[in-house]
Amino acid sequence: MRVGTPAVLQMAALEAALDIRGGIDIGALRARSAALSQRFIDGVEVACPDLALTSPRDPGQRGSQVSLRHPEGYAIVQAPIAPRAISDFRAPDILRFAVIPPYIGEAEIDRAITSRAEVITGQLRDCEAYQTRTAAT
């Protein structure tokens, strides 16, 4: 629906992104995703026992995201955005975490676990700023 020649910078960025993706083995990428997802699930179950897993435990039935449930899910998602451990919220109480191996590794998984545990154990979720719902999460 666009008229004219595509912008050169946009096309250069697209070409670079496609070049990077071209050498990825999809089977290896899926295995890495399953391993990182399992690391996240295992860590959350130890550090954040109040969060309930809603994604399938079987990695063959789980995509590259992990969903957890908590009555105060919105606040738990909002609080760690400041330390850059971003997740997503789905009403009424689902926390979603994307596990994307080309962009994250063990350090990011561990930081996401730690930041959620700090929010829950430190009662940061009780802060009014994190309780107030906005249009986007």
Domains and CATH numbers, the chain: 25-131 (3.90.1150.10)
DSSP E strand stretches across the chain: 52-53, 65-69, 88-90, 94-98
pLDDT at 128 over 90: no
The three-class DSSP label of residue 53 is strand
Taking the model in full, what pTM does it have?
0.76
Q: In 3-state terms, what secondary structure has residue 43?
A: helix
Burial 17-55 (b: 16+ CB within 10 A, else e): eeeeeeeeeeeeeeebbbebbbbbbebbeebbeebeeeb
CA–CA separation, 128 and 107 (whole Å): 30
Query: Cα separation of 115 and 135, whole Å?
Result: 23
Q: For residue 61, what pLDDT band results from cuts at 50, 70 and 90?
A: very high
CA distances to 10, 62, 66, 123 from 88, in Å: 27, 17, 10, 19
For 60, phi and psi rounded to 5 degrees? -70, -20
By CB neighbour count within 10 A (0-12 exposed, 13-18 middle, 19+ buried), where does 78 fall?
A: buried
- Is a pLDDT exceeding 70 seen at residue 131? no
Confidence of residue 11 (pLDDT cuts 50, 70, 90): confident
